[in-house]
Amino acid sequence: MDIQELGAIGEFVAAIATVCTLGYLAVQIRLSSRTSIAEAERQTLTGLHVQHALLWGDADSTRIMLTGLTQGLGELSDEEIMMFSARMSELANQYSIARRMGERKVIDDDMCRQVCGGINVILNSRGGREWWHKAAHAVWPDLSEEIGAFDGACFEDYLASLRGSEQAANAS
């Protein structure tokens, strides 16, 4: 076997090694992508968990949020309005983050719908709509277009379903 034949065998082996290397890299990139998606979903859920704890973590927070959501800002003191507004701003931020992550396919469409749907219910309350119209429309001008009609129906339906399940549990 002369030097040209050895060179040809070397080129063939190099071509096979290159294909194998590219295949290996493709598998690694796919695994990395899946890991990134899982981490993004975990971070999204952690952010929502933190918001949930802030919104409903103690009796005072629950009272302020529930009063603000169901009766509007007029029933809250200035201090309570600031707290309510801060919590609503965080929810709107979580909504925006979830929407962007969904558009970029960082989280899957089902998770994006679930996150946005849950936040939509709260933002679509009487107090959520009032907060948005008074303060938030300048920061999130397209929020109402994304969420849909701010008619309060979904929040009222949500409260009614909670009351219905509570009544059903008490009846049995």
Instruction: With a cut of 70, say whether residue 66 has pLDDT above it.
Output: yes
What digits encode the pLDDT tens for the residues 111-140? 777 877 777 778 778 888 888 777 766 666
Whether 73 and 134 have beta carbons less than 8 Å apart is answered as yes
Amino acid symbol at 71: Q
- At 9 the pLDDT is 87
Q: Distance (Å, rounded) from C-alpha 93 to C-alpha 91?
A: 5
Instruction: State yes or no: pLDDT of 77 exceeds 90.
Output: yes
Please give the share of the chain, as a percent, with pLDDT higher than 90.
Answer: 5
Q: What is the pLDDT of residue 160?
A: 76
With bands split at pLDDT 50, 70 and 90, how would you rate the model's confidence at 76? very high
Residue of 76 and 163 predicted with greater confidence? 76
HSE of 92 in the Cβ direction (CA atoms, 13 Å)?
Answer: 23
Structure-token pair, residue 10 = 């070397």
Residue 102 has pLDDT above 90, yes or no: no
Q: What is the enclosing helix (H) or strand (E) of 131?
A: helix 126-134
Enter the DSSP assignment of 2: -
